[in-house]
Structures are given as structure tokens and as C-alpha cells.
Structure 1
Amino acid sequence: MTTVATPLAPADTASGAGANPRRRSVVWLGLVPFAAYVVLFLAIPAILAVGSGFFDNAGAFTFANLAAFANPNILQSFVSSIWISALTALLGAVIGALVCFALLGTRPDGFLRTIVDSASSVLAQFGGVMLAFAFTATIGTQGFITTSLVHLGLADNIFNSFDNKGTWIYQVSGLVIPYLYFQVPLMVLTFMPAMQGLKTTWAEASATLGGSRFTYWTRIGMPILAPAFFGSLILLFANSFSSYATAAALISQGGIIPLAIRQQLTSETVVGVANVAGVLALGMVVVMIVLMTAYSALQRRASRWQR
């Protein structure tokens, strides 16, 4: 009997299956810098911040610090953070969705779409001291618009509901307009892909069956866009809820949770409770986990129509 030598399959050679684990290990090595960054600058600080709320001044483990949530000032800070985040998220989502709807009539590679996309990418990250200074110089006590209204004699009619001309921007309610400055661009960035995912064949099919434009949007367009819209709404809420720099530059005292954490770090104000900053950080983390869980679920549902 003649024995025929069977050539080795590529998977059996050194350049085949045996080399794949080595290639995969090299690929995983590329994630080491990012993983180190996440662990050192995100995971460890978050664990230390939240974990500190479960220890007293002597270093003993305790749940007594959670009593800080019963403090009226702490509760008011949470309420203020929630309502300012909900309001700016809702307004930002509605305005941003209208901008996305208007952009549907433009060419994807056109000049207007390019300008709006570029501006949204920049303005969505424009916050902190620079944004606070821009609004202070514009509508602050000595801002350009405020002083112009004073010279025109219109300031008393416009600012009569406030304690002083231009001071409203330095209150919690005054954060609405600065927050919208980065909330609307963020909505445009997150919601526009969903709007682009609407297929023209769906509108044509609806029209062929006798459906009006109103019928198309109420029975096809809006139900399809609903998961993406509410997912973006949650993202905007989380973005506003965790914002610190802009509020810190405009408001000197506490009023929202990020500023309350700063206040607790600089001067302990809740008598008889230790590590209140860690307790507040725990509350923020719980809120963010709930929001991100809901956001992930909505994104998975919305992705079905974007394929």
C-alpha cells in the first residue's frame, strides 16, 4: 500500500492556529495603556471616594454616615440637581431634536451639515470657566447685554423679578441657559444618527398605502425614534447631573450635589456625620448607574433600526 503524505492544513502550521494566540496577545497588549488609565484615574478614585463614606474618622466601618441623606441641606441639593438636570435635559433634547429634523433636508456631505456637526462636536465639550466667563461677560451684572438694557432704560422691565440686574445667572436657576449651551450640541451628536437611520422607503410605503405625513411620523417615525430620543434624554440628564466646573465658576456656595461635595471637602458642615463627601459621591454613583443602565437598554433597542 502506498502511503500518501497529507499536507498540513494552514491551521496546523506555525503560521496558523499556533500563531493566533500570540497575535491575540499582541492585540491585547495595545489595550494596556488604556486599561491602566481607567484603573488608575477612574476606577481607583471612584472606589476610594465612594468607599470613604462607609468609614468614620477612626477608620472603622460604619453605615451611620448614611444619615447625611436626612439632612435638609443635602436633600435640597439633590432636589436642585435633579430638577436642573431634568429641565436642561428636556429642553436640550427637544431643541436638539428639532435641529436634527431640520438637518434632514440638507445634504449629508453639504456645507451646512458639516458646519453644524463640527460646531456641535466643539460646543458639546465647551464648559467650565470659559463658558462661565462667556455668559458673565454677556449677561452678567456688568455684561454687555445687561449694561445695554440699562442704557436703553429696559432693564427695570426685564429684570424686575430678580434681586438685582444680572445676578440671576449666579443662582441655581441661572444655570439653565449655560447648561443648554452644551446640552443642545450633545443632543445633536447623539440623536442625529437615529434620524439618519430613518429610511425613505418607509415614508414611500406609508404614502403608497394612503398615509399622510402626520400618519407617518406618529405611527412609524416617532415610535422608531422613541428609544433613541429617550436614550439621549437620559444621557443629557446624566451630563447635567455630573457637571461641576461651570456651576463652580458661577455659584460660590452649594446648591447642587457636585458643589455640595466640594463644600464638604473644604469644610465639614453636617455635624455628627463623617466623610459626607463620600456619602454624596455614593448617591451620585447610584443615580448614574440607574441612568446608564436605562440608557444602555434604550440604545440596544434603538440600534435595531440603525442597522
Structure 2
Amino acid sequence: MKKYVGLLPLISLLAAFLIVPLLFMLIGSFQNDQTGAWTITNYTEFFSNSYYYQAFFNSLLITLVSCVLGLLGAIVLCICLLQLSEKTQEKITFVSNLAANFAGIPLAFSFIILLGNAGVLKLMMPSLQAFDLYSWWGLGLTYVYFQIPLGVLFLYPSMRELKKEWAEAAATLGTDSFYYWRKVALPFLRPSLLTTFIILFANGMGTYETAYALTGSNVNLLTVRIASLVSGDVFAKPNMGSALAVLFGLMMVTLMTVVGRREKK
């Protein structure tokens, strides 16, 4: 037991900031906000109230689009990176690391400076005047912005394992590059692609600060709805917010389980 004593601070932190809040969230999701009585009304209301499942659908839609575009952009960027020298690759991956962590309020503020109503790019290029940053298009652009560098961080190490000899051997056998990517490269990268997709999906679904800073409550997203229920824009319903968070967690666990089993097969 002595060898585990050093882990007590870590275990205490995990319990205080992860396990205990999770337990309270699970318990609260089965309680009525007004009376505190045990009930499943919070879950049934999610399916009966179109406002709640519309928030879920909106979050799912913008996340899937940003995941697909982010994953494609990451693949293209990694392919371009592999054509450069080692030092240049290290510098660009360092910048990608910074960009992947540059999210939330600072990211929204940067986009407002560039593409807001009086943004620098709009003043320089009048053709951008029609672009509305505070809409679905603007929100999607910011999502893709932080999804691409995050995808690069996870795909780049795997794509470096692709050997040039494989492509040369395929070319020697008379195949084109499309056949090589379809039969050799993509099957080799499939586990990394699936893992990266899950990470991008979780990152997109869990985004709150950027979306709220740009659109407030104008765009009905799941994270924004949970926050409004907890903080109370009109009146607080924290137990309903807990139920939405539990459903979100179940969806993520289901997705990870399905993809994990498919990857093992």
C-alpha cells in the first residue's frame, strides 16, 4: 500500500473535480427542479420538447460538418507537411499545437476583429461585406478553424509512418496514386482516422465559449442550452441541464464503444 501513497493527491483531485460532480449530475438528472422529488420527467421532456432536441440536432449537425472538413483539411495539411524538411515540419507542427489550443473567447474575439461587422478583412475587401460572422456560416468557420490543427496533431505521427517504399512499390506494380491511397495508405491509417474523428467530434460537441461569444443564445446549441439551464437566463433548471449532459455523455460513450469494437474487428 505504501507505493500508492504518492497517488493520493491525484486520486483526491480526480474525486473532487470529476467523480463527485459526475455523481451529483447523475442524481440531479432524476430529480424535479421545483420539488426535488425523484422523477424521469427531465428525460421525457427532452424528447417531448422540440427546443431541446433541436439543440441536440443543431450541435450534431455543425459538429459532423466541422469534423469532416477538419479531418479532410488535416489530411491535406499532413500530406503537404511530409514534403517539407524536418525542421520546417517541427515549426509548423508547433504552430498547429498553438492553433489547436487557441479556442474559446480569444478565438471568437480574433474572428470578430477580422470578420466582424467592422472587421479588418471586411474593410479591406468589400466583397466580404455580405458574410455574417454571427450566423451558422460564421460559427461553422470558427469550428473548422480549431478542428484542423487538432486533427493534424493526432494524424501527423501516423502519417509519418507511411513509407515511401510502399508508394514506390505500388507504382512499380502499375497502380496509380488513387489505388495506393485506397488499398494501402487509408487501411493503414484507419485506426488513427477513427480515433481522430472521435476526438474532433467530442471537441466540437463540447464547444461552448466560442459559440456563446459569437452568437449568444441566437443559435440553439446543446452546450449553450445546458449553460442557460444551469445559470438561468429566465429561471434556473439545473436538473434538466444535468439530464441533457447525461444524454450527451451517453452518446459519446456509445460512439466510442461502437468505433472501438469496429477498430478491433
Q: TM-score, normalised by structure 1?
A: 0.77
Q: Any stretches of 5+ residues in structure 1 without a counterpart?
A: 1-21, 160-165, 302-307
Structure with greater proportional helix content: 2
86, 93, 101: which one pairs with 1:125?
Answer: 101
The equivalences for 1:83-122 within 5 A come to 83-107=61-85, 110-122=86-98
The equivalences for 1:72-87 within 5 A come to 72-87=50-65
The equivalences for 1:2-81 within 5 A come to 25-26=2-3, 28-56=4-32, 57-69=34-46, 70-81=48-59
| Aligned equivalents of 2:41, 2:176: Cα separation in 1 | 61
Q: Is the 8 A contact 1:175 1:247 kept in 2?
A: yes
Aligned: 1:257 with 2:222: yes
| Aligned equivalents of 1:205, 1:64: Cα separation in 2 | 62
Q: What is the root-mean-square deviation in Å for CA atoms of aligned residues?
A: 2.5
What's the counterpart of residue 182 of structure 1? 146
Q: Any stretches of 5+ residues in structure 2 without a counterpart?
A: none
Distance 1:299 1:132, change over 3 A: farther
Q: Is the 8 A contact 2:114 2:120 kept in 1?
A: yes
Counterpart residue type for residue 96 of structure 1: A
Return the offset for 1:77.
Answer: 0.5
Bigger drift between 182-191 and 28-37 goes to 28-37
| Aligned equivalents of 1:295, 1:192: Cα separation in 2 | 21
| Aligned equivalents of 1:262, 1:187: Cα separation in 2 | 27
Count of residues in correspondence between the two structures: 262
Distance 1:83 1:92, change over 3 A: same
SS at match of 1:126: coil
Q: Deviations over 1:193-241 (max 9, x none)?
A: 2211223343344345444433322211122222321321222111100
What's the counterpart of residue 8 of structure 1? none
SS at match of 2:187: helix
Percent of aligned positions that are identical:
30
Q: Is the 8 A contact 1:227 1:298 kept in 2?
A: no
Q: Deviations over 1:253-298 (max 9, x none)?
A: 1510010011112337799x88211111111111221233345456
Q: Is the 8 A contact 2:31 2:38 kept in 1?
A: yes
Distance 1:268 1:247, change over 3 A: closer
Q: TM-score, normalised by structure 2?
A: 0.88
Counterpart residue type for residue 61 of structure 1: W
